[in-house]
Amino acid sequence: MSYQVSKQSYVDEIAEIKAAGLWKTERVIVSEQKNDITLEDGANVVNMCANNYLGLANNPDVKQAASDSLQEWGFGAASVRFICGTQGIHKTLERRVSHFLGMEDTILYAACFDANTGLFETILGPEDAVISDELNHASIIDGVRLCKAKRYRYKNNDMRDLAAKLQQARDEGARRVLITTDGVFSMDGTVAQLDAICDLADEYGAMVHHDDCHATGF
């Protein structure tokens, strides 16, 4: 297929998306991230769609700490973590996050999406099983697709269905079983039944992964 033919096929596809009202455009903000923001066209609006739940993006103490860190440590890691991209400030933050969450250890990622897409392929093989809530975030769904484990899906927050899938994975000979769920489901705010999920995991000898991106700090 020639370049021009390929290009035209994309042009046509974009036109179809626009005609269906599904084309996305950027809303350019020309002010700092806060409750009330200014758009590129000069409009002043109330921002009700950000992930800046705790207001940290424009917190004076956070901004000052970022400025101080830039002066002390420089800009960027200059390499991947295992070559020469790990600095003392990274390890300090990981220790503090571990203490805050009550966990043994922490590893920092540049993006939450990458944390989920990189997890399942690393810890699960073809002999294993992963059981995912049907309303999990897209990053979990993509991460599960990348791994070679057998995949099961249970109805949203339905412990009876989860138990059935755990039994099925056990009956089908899974070596290791991992249950994965959002802590708070981002589309409707439903809170996962983590206590019941962990009880079922103990009963069936499974591990639990949960993405607490939308709940940490509340």
Query: What is the C-alpha to C-alpha distance for residues 64 and 83, in angstroms, rounded to an integer?
Result: 29
pLDDT at 112: 87
Query: What is the C-alpha to C-alpha distance for residues 77 and 54, in angstroms, rounded to an integer?
Result: 26
Q: Which domain holds residue 19?
A: 1-52
Residue 217 covered by a domain? no
What tokens appear for 54 in the block?
A: 């705790």
Residue 103 covered by a domain? yes
The C-alpha angle with vertex 71 and arms to 69 and 74, in degrees rounded to 5, equals 80
DSSP of 189-214: -PBP-HHHHHHHHHHHT-EEEEE-TT
- Same domain (yes/no): 103, 89: yes
Residue type, 180: T
- Same domain (yes/no): 119, 76: no
- Same domain (yes/no): 190, 146: yes
- Same domain (yes/no): 198, 128: yes
- Same domain (yes/no): 138, 198: yes
Query: What is the C-alpha to C-alpha distance for residues 140 and 129, in angstroms, rounded to an integer?
Result: 14
Quick check: helix, strand or coil at residue 53? coil
pLDDT at 218: 61
- Same domain (yes/no): 67, 148: no
- Same domain (yes/no): 150, 204: yes
15 CB burial (10 A radius; 0-12, 13-18, 19+): exposed
DSSP of 64-132: HHHHHHHHHH-SS-SS-IIIII--HHHHHHHHHHHHHHT-S-----S-HHHHHHTTHHHH--TT-EEEE
Residue 136 covered by a domain? yes
Low-confidence ranges of the chain (pLDDT < 50): none
Span 82-102, pLDDT tens digits: 899 999 999 999 999 999 999
Count the domains in the chain: 3
- For the whole prediction, is pTM greater than 0.75? yes
Residue 218 covered by a domain? no
pLDDT at 5: 86
Residue 216 covered by a domain? no
